[in-house]
């Protein structure tokens, strides 16, 4: 899935854009088309929201105003952090030596594709890192920004409007054992809350956005869900050689590494601006974003540094269900 950021990166012939795009290729939710990524800003980005109340009325020569229009916004506020790694260029000589047959590495003179490939060897861990922190990152836990699950479970401000359901029964314990039947009970509790929990807007979102609605669970929960389909439904269940269907109520289930056990999260998620989950990343026009230089003049070691800014947001928390 290609990543498009605005504006076009300037650094090193679009090197930064190539790096960011490649890093997102290892991001589970992004690859599934379940995240909207907003770039092209430096500090804050406002996502406008409006909540009109009933204003339909009979036709009249002179209508009277009715209803109201409540306007607010959700803000992506980027946090600053960076990646810094020292390395011996000889380890990556297969990448750059064909283009610089003699002498030491001069990184800025390499073709953009070669620069990007080298940097991916150094920065590659960031794809996995962001895949986790975008969901469960916690400033209070020492991370640089809060993931969207952290924001929704903190239940502060508008995020308190999410529908939270108590887990009917423990799904798994310590990642080593669990009760497959309790997974079904938890999913049914989430469905009941979405459909009949007393929030008509959530019900509408669950029904009308069924193609986009997504459940996110831990690997342990997903494993037990597959086991339930294979073991508890002997005559019409899944083939035991398969892993089971990763969906519930016709809506896909995404298995998220490092997702908390005994937790199910659901909302509508897409790769477009209609997604309920957004990721904000730094303005890609900053030519100082990536820096590769010698550590010092008398050293063979180089350093690679990348400045980053990031935040997450759930546009409408009231359109989310969380079972925990």
Whether pLDDT at 54 is above 60? yes
149: domain CATH number is 3.90.1690
Range of the domain at 307: 15-49+70-323
How many folded domains does the chain comprise? Answer: 1
- Whether 36 and 272 have beta carbons less than 8 Å apart is answered as yes
Q: Give the CA angle between residues 13, 14, 16 to the nearest 5°.
A: 125
In a domain, 78, yes or no: yes
Prior bond to 7 cis, omega within 30? yes
In a domain, 63, yes or no: no
How much of the chain, in percent, has pLDDT values that exceed 70?
A: 88
Q: Which of 288, 273, 281 is nearest to 43 (CA)?
A: 281
pLDDT per residue as tens digits for the range 201-246: 899 999 999 999 999 999 999 988 988 888 766 556 556 666 688 9
In a domain, 5, yes or no: no
Pairing relation of β-strands 247-248 and 290-294? unpaired
Q: DSSP alpha helices (H): ranges in the chain? A: 15-24, 28-31, 93-96, 112-123, 125-136, 148-154, 180-196, 200-208, 219-231
Mean pLDDT of 285-314: 86
In a domain, 114, yes or no: yes
In a domain, 57, yes or no: no
In this prediction, residue 235 carries a pLDDT of 57
- pLDDT confidence bin for 158, thresholds 50/70/90: confident
In this prediction, residue 161 carries a pLDDT of 86
In a domain, 116, yes or no: yes
In a domain, 6, yes or no: no
In this prediction, residue 181 carries a pLDDT of 82
- Whether 134 and 34 have beta carbons less than 8 Å apart is answered as no
In a domain, 182, yes or no: yes
- pLDDT confidence bin for 8, thresholds 50/70/90: very low
In this prediction, residue 18 carries a pLDDT of 74
Global confidence as pTM: 0.85
Whether pLDDT at 3 is above 50? no
């Amino acid at each position: 899935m290609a990543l498009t950021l605005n504006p076009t990166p300037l650094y090193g012939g679009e090197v930064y854009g190539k790096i960011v795009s490649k890093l997102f290729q290892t991001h589970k939710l992004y690859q599934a088309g379940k995240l909207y990524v907003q770039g092209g800003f430096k500090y804050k980005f406002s996502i406008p929201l409006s909540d009109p109340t009933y204003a339909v009325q009979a036709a009249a020569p002179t209508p009277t105003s009715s209803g109201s229009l409540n306007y607010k916004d959700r803000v992506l506020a980027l946090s600053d952090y960076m990646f810094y790694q020292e390395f011996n260029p000889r380890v990556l000589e297969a990448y750059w030596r064909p283009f610089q047959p003699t002498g030491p590495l001069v990184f800025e003179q390499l073709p953009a594709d070669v620069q990007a490939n080298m940097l991916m060897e150094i920065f590659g861990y960031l794809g996995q890192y962001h895949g986790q922190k975008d969901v469960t990152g916690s400033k209070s836990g020492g991370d640089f920004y809060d993931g969207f699950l952290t924001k929704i479970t903190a239940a502060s401000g508008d995020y308190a409007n999410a529908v939270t359901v108590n887990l009917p029964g423990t799904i798994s314990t310590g990642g080593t054992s669990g009760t497959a039947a309790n997974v079904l009970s938890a999913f049914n509790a989430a469905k009941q809350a979405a459909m009949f929990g007393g929030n008509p807007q959530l019900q509408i979102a669950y029904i009308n956005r069924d193609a986009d609605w997504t459940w996110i669970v831990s690997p342990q929960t997903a494993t037990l869900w597959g086991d339930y389909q294979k073991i508890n439904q002997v005559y019409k269940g899944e083939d035991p050689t398969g892993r089971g269907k990763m969906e519930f109520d016709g809506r896909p289930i995404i298995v998220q590494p490092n997702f908390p056990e005994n937790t199910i999260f659901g909302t509508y998620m897409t790769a477009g601006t209609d997604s309920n989950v957004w990721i904000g990343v730094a303005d890609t026009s900053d030519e100082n974003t990536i820096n590769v230089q010698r550590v010092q003049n008398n050293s063979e070691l180089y350093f690679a540094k990348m400045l980053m800014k990031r935040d997450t947001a759930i546009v409408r928390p009231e359109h989310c269900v969380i079972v925990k």
